């Protein structure tokens, strides 16, 4: 197979990139579902004036995207386990500044739940392809 000829470090980088892409694709698609399925969601999205139910739905979107990201990374780098840990770290490092910029828009519990779940859910997703 083609991937078996790719050096492990290169494969690990590709796996992290694939995981990040998967996170954003899944999150975007799931967010489109939220807009269609939750009454009023699209109307408050720009102002980020979400209800409790909407915040929980957003956390579920993030959870689904994190699991998908881990699965995508592991599918590419089954024999490079460092890639899944690198992806988990990159996700956390990427989203910390995002949430700092959004700090006053969401309750503390939301930020903590989102940030604390990124790495464990990505690592859980990395176990799925096995």
Longest CA span, the chain: 50
Q: Into how many domains does the chain fold?
A: 1
pTM equals 0.93
**DSSP line for 52-73:** HHHHHHHHHHHHHHHHHHHHHH
Which tokens is 84 given?
């899944």
Give the structural domain span for 57: 2-126
pLDDT of 106: 97
List b or e across 22-44, with b for residues whose CB sees 16 or more CB atoms inside 10 angstroms: bbeebbeebbeebeeebeebeee
DSSP 44: H
pLDDT of 79: 77
Report pLDDT digits (tens) over 39-89.
999 999 999 999 999 999 999 999 999 999 999 999 998 878 899 999 999
Residue 99's contacts (CB-CB under 8 Å, 6 or more residues apart) are 106, 111, 114, 115
| Percentage, residues of the chain above pLDDT 90 | 85
């Amino acid at each position: 197979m083609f991937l078996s000829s790719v050096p492990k470090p290169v494969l690990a980088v590709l796996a992290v990139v694939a995981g990040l892409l998967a996170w954003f694709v899944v999150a975007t698609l799931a967010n489109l579902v939220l807009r269609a399925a939750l009454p009023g969601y699209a109307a408050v999205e720009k102002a980020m004036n979400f209800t409790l139910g909407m915040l929980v739905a957003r956390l579920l979107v993030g959870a689904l995207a994190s699991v998908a990201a881990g699965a995508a990374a592991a599918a590419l780098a089954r024999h490079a386990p460092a890639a899944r840990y690198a992806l988990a770290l990159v996700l956390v490092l990427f989203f910390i500044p995002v949430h700092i910029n959004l700090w006053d828009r969401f309750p503390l519990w939301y930020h903590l739940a989102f940030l604390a779940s990124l790495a464990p859910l990505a690592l859980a997703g990395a176990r799925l392809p096995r």
